Structure 1
């Protein structure tokens, strides 16, 4: 297993921020991407935050870092056949404690690797609270879905071009530290970059204009570290992803810059398959890095077998019910589920103690994870 030291001196950090363009790799060709993808097992896993953390800051800050809980939960994931986890980082973690962040990233991957799980790291995120603050995080808002999740870089940083160099340095440093680490399956540069934010937060004016300026620079920053892992950023909205004339400026960048294409879909199976085939039309490997919202028609039963059949990596939203409260639906921002539980869980697979919400879902994940590539076995086999 190849790993890079996760502690950099101030001199080394200055070097990372100015990596020579000559060392940067190009975007993978379709042939390179497909050759790499053929060496990987079919990926099945979840978007992961431990049940004891409300967001990525609480997950990785020293005061609330909880490796014992992570080890317990990833053991449950291994038992159901999961082999990947998608995990959110945040620029404030690096700015306040870069060495500590990388040390805890390394510890997370050591725990995950012990459970035969690789990690897909996310650098930035356009969803939820646009005003992130490091330090202690507020408790969950009762009855509300994902009430503590944070945008990165957030509204103020996004609108301030003088901050872009620091954001690029964060990406360069982290990727350089782990650029040859085989515990990493890829780097997700920006989650849903053209998302307005969600929840009850005030949207950032002209957000897409700023994102379109910054996103290519972040792809360049990651490539400057010459990583052996692929880069991606997933499209999530629209009807015609296979036609670059019908996607917005941000989506064009995502599709044109990604080594491996990725997308999100929380729809019924028919829509999922249509969108999946649109993404496959580019001739690159495809990952679905978010799906599974039971109340929206996206379930393991109807969607996961399509992903297996098409050899698309599948990362559902949520794993263990906890402080993120994503068993509650999106509409809880308008009508909090304070006095009643939803009729069905929206996301998540396990209760806090590891008991499955639906045993049949866990059985399906395990059955598909252990069957040959592209094969969807019948129930009970």
Structure 2
């Protein structure tokens, strides 16, 4: 497998996203983009069905982050321009605000904004930089040790989970709040580690003060904790974080892969889960020092095996790929039949055909960009994760 092949695959996935899922906000607002959450889309242009369809803030955040990948790894000017326009579209669609009621949503958007600003300096305006500072400070101020956290999943409850604390820790590490980032990484391991070595979903603090553990296991929870530990090790040099990465990687390999390929999690929100794990496995593979060569190689092997499987099992329309929610199973071409992904409570359920969901296509593109990063040995940071 050559580096050019991995990059070509990722570029094809980006082109498919652009053709099928990127549009001007409302179909007309200049200098904006927004991610269309279903392809083929619901309803006719300007129909009530299309205008009122779910837009899913955190899907859009990952779309920004994936566009940044294309801009950084291949100097793809269109990806960089679309990332900036998408941020503008998100803010307008979110009624002029960067924030919402979900800490995990805000952490994901903050991460995408930080990477865009760091890798493509000068592309974002002062409004975006203020937004990044706002999201960083929301993560910092949400810390609630008196309630058992951690930061909560959303502003309206006391559920402290990995999907909020993991990306928040990574964001704070990269945005100038190192002490809190390390505290969060430690909190995740001390409170959410299961006997299997995997990371559970989170814990509730009930009204009577008791704590109730939710031991559900998701691939993306493992990914964000790996990412938080890489950042904590980069900041502190504490070998504890390196040993935690090693142990969690063993658990992921044993329990979250099939024949070395990351397990699928369906459509809807689950369409992003595998791609998030792949992103942070790639961070392990590219940003740990040479002394951790075995850990790096094991992480890289999962990423490249998963990318090979996703590409092998793709479908195609007009010469562009369509990926399935399970990278080990043949993808199908979606139709307009059945409902598209809709939000129920705090989660988004799958379309009848998961391949229709933007989340599934963004997750696979994230995976292919992660494989390109691994094979091209392109680290996220300048230098390895060892402090000066």
Task: Output the TM-score relative to the length of structure 1.
Answer: 0.32
- Select the structure with the greater relative contact order (CA < 8 A; seq sep ≥ 6): 1
Q: Going by fraction, where is helix more abundant, 1 or 2?
A: 2
Task: Output the TM-score relative to the length of structure 2.
Answer: 0.32
